[in-house]
Amino acid sequence: ANPVEAAGCNLTEFIGTAVGDTIGLVIANVDHLLHEKMKLDKKYRSIGVIGARIGAGPQIMAADEAVKATNSEVISIELPRDTKGGAGHGSLIIFGSEDVSDAKRAVEVTLQTIDKTMGDVYSNEAGHLEFQYTARASYAIGKAFGAPVGKSFGLICAGPAAIGVILADTAVKAANVGIVGYASPGNGGTSYSNEVILTVTGDSGAVRQSVTAAREAGLKLLGSLGAAPVSASVPYI
Amino acid sequence: ANPVEAAGCNLTEFIGTAVGDTIGLVIANVDHLLHEKMKLDKKYRSIGVIGARIGAGPQIMAADEAVKATNSEVISIELPRDTKGGAGHGSLIIFGSEDVSDAKRAVEVTLQTIDKTMGDVYSNEAGHLEFQYTARASYAIGKAFGAPVGKSFGLICAGPAAIGVILADTAVKAANVGIVGYASPGNGGTSYSNEVILTVTGDSGAVRQSVTAAREAGLKLLGSLGAAPVSASVPYI
Amino acid sequence: ANPVEAAGCNLTEFIGTAVGDTIGLVIANVDHLLHEKMKLDKKYRSIGVIGARIGAGPQIMAADEAVKATNSEVISIELPRDTKGGAGHGSLIIFGSEDVSDAKRAVEVTLQTIDKTMGDVYSNEAGHLEFQYTARASYAIGKAFGAPVGKSFGLICAGPAAIGVILADTAVKAANVGIVGYASPGNGGTSYSNEVILTVTGDSGAVRQSVTAAREAGLKLLGSLGAAPVSASVPYI
């Protein structure tokens, strides 16, 4: 975002922006009519909101760090079919807290972390790859993917989806990991995005090895459809 | 559309085009096999068809004026996930009538009205905002949103969806309105578009105030992600 | 794809690419954990995978030829909402076989056939048209569309969907065909794409006449929204 324009956004609800057309916002006291329509739990007076056009995994991983670091909870995670003409999702993540400062802090931590979690998102003109890894998943990852909290977690994703099928096979053959979920365009786990998403858990060394093996294969396969895929930031895994 | 090309479309089914890759069409006598597959009510021999790549709200609002002005009914409203890489919907609206001249007239009125109802659609490279207002909703609005017919109606929409959450809160706090519906990417009311859509009803002055307050906030928030949002036509609210 | 880059893809799983960002892949022995999560029938040790960003019909028609020509079966066909900002679908097609050479051969035949089946896909800046025809449908067409195997089959598709409504009516009026299915953005058969898709069966001459009549009308209607639509390859019907 143009810093002049961002500086011009003087709304108290505005916290900041990040890569991927990500915006971070907060509402100190959600209107009671809206609160009901949004089906929020009554204990959350304040909400933090993260939304993006490009990316769901990076924002969810960043929100997971925010949940670890703050006194807030992830209320909901929704996956629009987006990426601005790309093959994947955007995201809408809502944090709840009793105090507005906690929701605000969760949004800030998320925004600060997205640059890192975009590091293993790679794209070219034909599609994208995404890899995520953490030694210890928390509640955002648990809510989004059904992954066990407190354990190591890895995500392997590619669009077009066909590449994701191969990466999923590569990942589970590369190390002794358990499968948390397998999502595909028409069989659940995606909003009809052109992706296959495999999520894995297990020993942290094994999860990392599984993810990096898939990454190596993915860069070759997506590269066969166009230019060498380029990271959206700096690879971290 | 290029007027030369449009002039070249000599099919009797072709009525015209409008902004947003909107096309207006008519079928005098729907084939009986197709009539059945489309699950049309038998009383409608003729149908009018409005379709667009960009925009659902503007076409629905325009169709609402057409229903008021003609002897036709809105049979169905479908929302594809579209906007040509944008965050929102396209549309497919079907009018039914006993006489072809009524369906044709409904399509004509809709096409003529879309330029107005695109007036409070604003966009920049990061997303879009949409606002609609009428002092008296008719059957197209009723069918699309479940809004009470004959009463004032307002629509507040933004993509990325996160901005729409804030606008929804702003709208209901700005005036004494009732919420008709709250739609989000994964919880119904959208086709996984990256939008939050709030619809409101109430006293017409309150509805208008609610919409304009949200519009003011929306222009600032979307502007934080890019250039100042630009109207697709001429603002009318 | 750049042949240098494709040449660089030395993975044994990689078979080749085709128009529409289509990629063809094979797995000789699907990992048993993944096999279960993908809900594959145990008799298929090997799978062939076809995926594309742009197009589902052309890939399905090509897969249908592959099924006729090889000892493999179509396990699943999924339709992501894609086409890289266009109005339609991408695709994910999985072949199963007991022997890897059969899955590989099915992928090869599919890739070789897509150039032909892209021939009656036409597009301009506003949308696209797609027409398909075969004198004898096999199991891929049967699985994807519920069409009778062994009989003539035709597909008529347009985006924006409104044009597809007119083409559907044109097609069934042009010849004595039966309707296999009518798909629209919000009423099933699409993944919220901005398309209406009509599928027909009957005498092969009638099916062909039905498809070509719709093609003639479609080129005029889509042309009214922009430039003259251009074939993605060489028309074959």
User: C11 to chain B, minimum CA–CA distance in Å?
Assistant: 32
Among chain A residues, CA nearest to C92:
A162
Task: List chain A residues with CB under 8 Å of B178.
Answer: 33
Q: Does A196 touch chain C (CB under 8 A)?
A: yes
- Find residue C132's DSSP bridge partners: C155
Contact A33 B217 (CB under 8 A): no
Distance (Å, whole) CA A154 – CA A210: 8
Indicate left, alpha or beta for B202 from its phi (over 0: left) and psi (-120 to 50: alpha).
Answer: left
- Report helix angle A161-174 to A204-223, nearest 10: 140
Which residue in the set B169, B194, B225 is minimally distant from A80, CB to CB?
B194
**Nearest by Cα to A47 from A81, A69, A10, A15:** A15
pLDDT for residue C8: 59
Assess whether pLDDT exceeds 70 at residue B4: no
pLDDT for residue B95: 98
pLDDT for residue A216: 98
Q: How far is CA B20 from the centre of its chain?
A: 11
Distance (Å, whole) CA A46 – CA A135: 30
- Strands of chain A (E only): list them: 14-18, 22-27, 46-52, 73-78, 91-97, 121-124, 127-134, 152-159, 178-183, 196-202, 230-231
Task: List chain C residues with CB under 8 Å of B76.
Answer: 187
- Find residue A183's DSSP bridge partners: A197
Positions of chain C with pLDDT lower than 50, given as ranges? 1-5
Among chain C residues, CA nearest to B3:
C224
pLDDT for residue A9: 85
Which residue in the set C17, C50, C92 is minimally distant from A185, CB to CB?
C92
Task: List chain C residues with CB under 8 Å of B33.
Answer: 172, 178-179
Which residue in the set C9, C31, C94 is minimally distant from A173, CB to CB?
C31
C63 CB contacts (<8 Å, ≥6 apart)? C50, C74, C77, C93, C95, C106, C110, C140
**Nearest by Cα to C23 from C45, C68, C55:** C55
User: C184 to chain B, minimum CA–CA distance in Å?
Assistant: 8
Q: Does A225 touch chain B (CB under 8 A)?
A: no
Q: Does B192 touch chain A (CB under 8 A)?
A: yes
Assess whether pLDDT exceeds 80 at residue A1: no
The share of chain A scoring above pLDDT 90, in percent, equals: 95
- State the chains in contact with C (3 or more Cβ–Cβ pairs under 8 Å): A, B
User: B68 to chain A, minimum CA–CA distance in Å?
Assistant: 30
Which residue in the set C81, C163, C217 is minimally distant from B81, CB to CB?
C81
Instruction: Quote the mean pLDDT of chain B.
Output: 96
Contact A107, A50 (CB under 8 A): yes
Assess whether pLDDT exceeds 80 at residue A180: yes
Contact B81 C85 (CB under 8 A): no
Q: Does A190 touch chain C (CB under 8 A)?
A: yes
Task: List chain B residues with CB under 8 Å of A10.
Answer: 220
**φ, ψ at A75 (rounded to 5°):** -85, -45
pLDDT tens string B186-212: 999 999 999 999 999 999 999 999 999
**φ, ψ at A67 (rounded to 5°):** -65, -35
- Alpha helices, DSSP H only, in A70-138? 100-117
Q: Does A38 touch chain B (CB under 8 A)?
A: yes
Instruction: Quote the mean pLDDT of chain A.
Output: 96
Among chain B residues, CA nearest to A34:
B169
Task: List chain A residues with CB under 8 Å of C191.
Answer: 185-186, 192
Contact B162 A191 (CB under 8 A): no
Q: What is the DSSP letter of B81?
A: B
pLDDT for residue C5: 44
pLDDT for residue B9: 85
Task: List chain C residues with CB under 8 Å of B21.
Answer: 126-127, 160, 225-226
**Nearest by Cα to B62 from B15, B24, B102:** B24
Cα dihedral B21/B26/B31/B34 (nearest 10): 30
Q: How far is CA B52 from the centre of its chain?
A: 10
Task: List chain C residues with CB under 8 Å of B19.
Answer: none
pLDDT for residue C3: 41
**Mutation target vs A (from C34, C44, C77, C143; most A CBs, 10 A cutoff):** C34
User: B24 to chain A, minimum CA–CA distance in Å?
Assistant: 26
pLDDT for residue B8: 59
User: A191 to chain B, minimum CA–CA distance in Å?
Assistant: 6
Contact A53 B126 (CB under 8 A): yes
pLDDT for residue A128: 98
**Could you please report the per-residue DSSP string of B9-54?**
---TTEEEEETTTEEEEEESS--HHHHHHTT--TT--EEEEEEESS
Which residue in the set B11, B51, B191 is minimally distant from C160, CB to CB?
B51
pLDDT tens string A6-64: 555 899 999 999 999 999 999 999 999 999 999 999 899 999 999 999 999 999 999 99
pLDDT for residue C97: 97
Assess whether pLDDT exceeds 50 at residue A5: no
pLDDT for residue C9: 85
Assess whether pLDDT exceeds 70 at residue A118: yes
Contact C9 A224 (CB under 8 A): yes
- Find residue B231's DSSP bridge partners: B122
Mean pLDDT lowest among A5-19, B17-31, B47-61: A5-19
Task: List chain C residues with CB under 8 Å of B17.
Answer: 224-225
